[in-house]
Amino acid sequence: MGPIFNHSYSAVGRVALAAGTLNGLEVLTGKKQLSLLTLSLNYLVLHQFFKPLALVETQGLFSASVIIIGGISTLVETLLLFPVDKTNKNEESSVVKAYHSMNEMVVLAAGVVVVVSAILTTDSNIRILCVSATTLYVMRFARKFYKETTFINEMSQREESSSVVPEFLVDETTRLQGKEVHYLVGRNEFEKLRTFLTLDIPLNNPLLLGEPGSGKTELIKFLAAEINHGRVEGCDGWRVFSTTCTAIIEGTKFIGTMQEKIGRMFRFFEALIKDGEKVVVFIDEIHQAVSTGKSTSSDATSIAEALLTYMTNPRIRVIAATTHDNAMKLDQNPPFRERFEKVIMPRMTATRKQKILEVHLREIQRQFPTLTLPENLFERVQLANTLKGEKSLRRDIGLLYVTAANMDKTKRSVDTVLQEDLLEHIEGYLAILDSQGMVISEEFEEKLSQAKEQLGLGFGGENQIFARVVSTTRQLTSRGVINLDAVLEQVVKRWSA
Cα 113 from chain centroid? Answer: 51
**Stronger pLDDT, 63 or 362, i.e. the higher one:** 362
Identity of residue 13: G
Residue 86 has pLDDT above 70, yes or no: no
Residue 61 has pLDDT above 80, yes or no: no
Segment (H or E) for 306: helix 303-308
Identity of residue 235: C
Q: How many CB atoms lie within 10 A of CB 269?
A: 25
Euclidean distance between CA atoms 32 and 144, whole angstroms: 12
Q: How many CB atoms lie within 10 A of CB 367?
A: 12
Q: Name the 3-class secondary structure at 489.
A: helix
Half-sphere exposure of 272 (CA within 13 A, CB side): 23
Cβ proximity of 20 and 133 under 8 Å: yes
**Stronger pLDDT, 212 or 31, i.e. the higher one:** 212
Cβ proximity of 219 and 185 under 8 Å: yes
Cα-based distances in Å from 233 to 129, 194, 197, 198, 279: 76, 8, 11, 9, 15
pTM of the model: 0.56
Q: What is the DSSP string of 437-470?
A: T-B--TTHHHHHHHHHHHHT--TTHHHHHHHHHH
Residues listed for the chain: 497
Cβ proximity of 109 and 46 under 8 Å: yes
Sheet holding 239-244: strands in order across?
170-171, 239-244, 279-284, 316-322, 205-209, 340-344
Sign (positive or negative) of CA dihedral 329, 332, 336, 338: positive
Q: 170-171 and 239-244: which strand pairing?
A: antiparallel
Task: Please tell me the least confidently modeled range out of 256-260, 438-442, 462-466.
Answer: 256-260
Rounded to 10°, the helix 484-496/444-455 angle is 0
Instruction: State the chain's mean pLDDT as an integer.
Output: 76
pLDDT band for position 295 (cuts 50, 70, 90): very low
Residue 241 has pLDDT above 90, yes or no: yes
Cβ proximity of 244 and 280 under 8 Å: no
Euclidean distance between CA atoms 215 and 186, whole angstroms: 9
Cα-based distances in Å from 36 to 23, 65, 104, 109, 115: 11, 22, 11, 16, 22
**Stronger pLDDT, 245 or 57, i.e. the higher one:** 245
Q: How many CB atoms lie within 10 A of CB 497?
A: 5
Cα 293 from chain centroid? Answer: 12
Q: What is the DSSP string of 135-191?
A: HHHHHHHHHHHHHHHHHHHHHHHHHHHTTS--TT-EEHHHHTTT------S-SHHHH
For the chain, report the end-to-end CA distance as a whole number of angstroms: 125
Task: Please tell me the least confidently modeled range out of 78-87, 137-146, 229-238.
Answer: 78-87
Residue 65 has pLDDT above 80, yes or no: no
- The predicted pLDDT at position 39 comes to 65
Euclidean distance between CA atoms 116 and 111, whole angstroms: 9
Q: Name the 3-class secondary structure at 70.
A: helix
- The predicted pLDDT at position 162 comes to 56
Phi/psi at 293 (5° precision): -80, 60
Buried b (16+ CB within 10 A) or exposed e, 28-53: eeeeeebbeebbebbbbbbebbbeee
Residue 161 has pLDDT above 60, yes or no: no
DSSP state of 92: P
Segment (H or E) for 340: strand 340-344
Residue 387 has pLDDT above 50, yes or no: yes
